[in-house]
Structure 1
């Protein structure tokens, strides 16, 4: 009878440490790599090199690591050792202390070369937490002191690798092969999470749709996101693939995760927009509320010609009277300039130059047909204006009153009824009976560009034939008209 093989017998563990010019993989670079290969209780090889980081090493980093600019001046570039390093690490378990740091830097270096790098990653900080939960500190200095490990040259790659290997073998001997192996297997199956989060963070997260929030120190809200699978999406933030400085900063600052479940994707999207605009998380930029939402209105002047004006107060019950939604006056004027140039309309009547006696500037260039001088027939000019602006006309609300959009999550049994009026999300209910007691009279809800676009897609576009699969429209419950046109005004 043969004994069952274990990961400790069959896997090669590449215990790796790097030294760098700083702590951010987006712009800092690696100056040294050290690796010791361990399999079945024995060291089976090692690999080490200094690297030219192609940037200056600061005096602080020189003093911390002992690696000077002179030492790396003639060292190889990362691209020169990239193939060899990839060969050395192929098929191994990538082991590092605070592995997100080392793994993130290695991936960043390969990404600069247009290459991908991935490996099974084992973090010895998390291994220490798993095996020694009674202790609070798990940095390398704490491990050396606590377990009586031999002193090494700290902040040099092979010195830190020696300390990591000493802990690895000490923990195996003290805890026994079975417990040591189980801890490793569990960690290799779990997504890596930032060190300041509780180890079981991902276990509590729901597998359905909703919104999640990342909080930092002193409960500062860092980031709001949405997903159809909260647990999966949050885990993807912790994959170790740091694509941006922002991702690194969020990971380093993160202390707590909160979430709100929804019954479907539309509810999650609307809640995400609402929370980004009202809670103003530090790292969300896209979807921030526009400070000066602007549209364009058309009205006749004394001579009967249609003239454009910028509208800053959007009245949701009059959306059909507006053309376009813009985040700033400049964006609206840029759109007007494009319409003028394409359709040879009058600069003065479009409000692009002051109203003065005589022809507009474009008339002198032959780009206006003379409406500014009364030379173009009023009906002809107005027809051209209506055609030019037709594609920008906002969609009027197609129902007589509010509606309830029903979303249901079959997996959890949850149901949400999203109450929407004039393309504004005004409430979320969970039972159809609640609709009978719902009163929207006097509620103040701000008309919002992002929600308008989102609800247009959800209610109008999803029923259209996309050329592939015809998407199922959501179930809509029509509610009684409110009656007052100024209800739900911003």
Structure 2
């Protein structure tokens, strides 16, 4: 290992996300063992505009790079210096993926072994408050000149890497990081590999947390460990940023996907995580409502509101609400006009429903018509049944349940197989109360569509 080649690299970029980043400056220092052998530094014409905020950070502007070589003009030099060498950088996945992306644009596959000085420092110099390059250099008395310029950051990283090599004289840590089966090269810089190894391969939810312990992403998975790791292999800008901001991961085993989905929805509503997109917007569903008009006729209508407490029924699509109203009209001989299925104020003329008894042109009494409306409403209320969904538990000796009471999601719980539980009141003792929302209703309806009544127990 003393003859191993390393190339310590830093790039400055246009800052347009990991996939759209173009290099504006690069510095490469080649080491053999602990000794510096070669160095290459160059501005690079990114062939695109440099945003003002990047210029403010690095000091590199469009004028500086206008006559600089383009990447393809220095590509051969980079290949020459990195061939047979381990690619070393502070937060290596960023620099490595940017360089690899530039070569991909040229039709060349760039593949090198990687070492991250952030992760190596956390392992070999534990207990520091921060492992950013600036803080590390300050803590270890490493000179850092021209911060956020490629050469200045590379020179500091070289000294840091030389310190790391001196702390690992038998190369035990470095060899373990270079092991093809090791996750060290793919994990974000702030996550301990032991934390990942301890994640369960079971169904449940997981929470990514930032440096302050704030939840920044909530997810569900059939295999928690596998799903968490997949985030770090994804090269999308959002996934990369998520990894860079993650310092800790919590999880909760649920035993089945239904409770995982419900719990994920609850966590998103509770924490409003920065990196979640779905389920964050409060959605106003469509609902069927009733009111009495000036003639005393009970009318049915479609409304859209977040408040569904007094709704007769809730829908996710307007077409579903219309279909239900048409069904009520047909089954109970109601008037399409008084069910909001046509906008005209004259007698009804629905294209399909022709069995109105004439309330819309005074051929039927209000009392008789309202009686049939009440029968229709009773049929809707009957659909709001109380039942529980029985599912697998977190272990072989327990089962789980989800309770829906009068059409409202109440929560979930777990019961040991040895417990004698059969009545509704018995289940409440094991119930974890949850909030009924648009999203939980959608999840439960989706489950029932998929599984039917196989796991349903009516109370």
Aligned equivalent of 1:455, options 432, 440, 444 = 444
CA contact (8 A) 2:145 2:153 kept: yes
Q: Offset at 1:226?
A: 1.0
Q: Name the counterpart of 1:17.
A: 10
Matches of residues 214-363 of structure 1 in structure 2 within 5 Å?
214-216=208-210, 218-239=212-233, 241-244=234-237, 246-247=238-239, 249-288=241-280, 290-296=282-288, 308-310=301-303, 322=313, 325-326=315-316, 332=318, 351=340, 356=345, 358=346
- Report the counterpart of residue 97 of structure 1 in structure 2: 90
Distance in 1 (alpha carbons) for counterparts of 2:197 and 2:174: 21
Name the residue aligned to 1:418: 401
Task: Return the alpha-carbon distance in structure 2 between the equivalents of residues 89 and 425 of structure 1.
Answer: 60
Deviations 1:287-333 (A, max 9, x none): 2474532234799999x9997543767579x9xx75x713xxxx638
Contact 2:45–2:66 (CA under 8 A) maintained in structure 1: yes
Cα shift at 1:431: 1.5
Provide the C-alpha distance between the structure 1 equivalents of 2:387 and 2:152, rounded to a whole number of angstroms.
Answer: 68
Q: Which residue of 1 is the match for residue 416 of structure 2?
A: 431
Distance 2:304 2:132 in 1: 59
Contact 2:202 2:253 in 1 (8 A): yes
- What TM-score comes out, normalization by structure 1 length? 0.65
- Please report how far the alpha carbon of residue 407 of structure 1 lies from its aligned counterpart in structure 2 after TM superposition: 0.9
Q: What SS class does the counterpart of residue 426 from structure 1 fall into? A: strand
Query: Structure 1 residues 85 and 351 mapped into 2: Cα distance closer, same or farther (>3 Å)?
Result: farther
> Any unmatched runs of 5+ in structure 2?
327-334, 358-378
8 A contact 2:401–2:412 mirrored in 1: yes
Distance 2:298 2:58 in 1: 75
In structure 2, how many angstroms separate the alpha carbons of the residues matched to 1:179 and 1:283?
Answer: 36
| 1:208 paired residue number | 202
Deviation, structure 1 residue 30: 2.6
Deviation by residue 1:111-160 (Cα, 9 ceiling, x = unmatched): 88999876543211221222222554544456556667677655432443
Tell me the SS of whatever aligns to 1:430: strand
SS at match of 1:189: coil
Give the aligned CA root-mean-square deviation in angstroms: 5.2
- Where do residues 66-77 of structure 1 align in structure 2 (5 Å cutoff)? 67-77=60-70
Task: Give the paired residue count.
Answer: 421
- Give the TM-score normalised by the residue count of structure 2: 0.69
Cα distance, 1:33–1:277 mapped onto 2, change above 3 Å: same
SS in 2 for 1:208: coil
Name the CA distance, whole Å, in 2 between partners of 1:443 and 1:166.
54
Q: Distance in 2 between matches of 1:426 and 1:180?
A: 47
Instruction: Check the 8 A contact 2:286/2:321 in 1, yes or no.
Output: no
Indicate how the Cα distance of structure 1 residues 87 and 294 shifts in structure 2: closer, same or farther if over 3 A, else same: farther
Q: How far apart, CA to CA, are the structure 1 residues paired with 2:30 and 2:397? A: 51
- In the other structure, the counterpart of 1:33 is 26
Q: CA deviation at 1:194?
A: 4.4
* Cα distance between partner residues in 2 of 1:394 and 1:32: 67
Give the distance between the partners of 1:347 and 1:118, measured in 2 at CA.
68
SS at match of 2:119: helix
Is contact 2:209-2:216 (8 Å) kept?
Answer: yes
CA-to-aligned-CA distance 1:396-427 (integer Å, 9 cap, x gap): 869x7523422145xx6574412233483632
The answer to whether the 8 Å contact 1:263/1:415 transfers is no
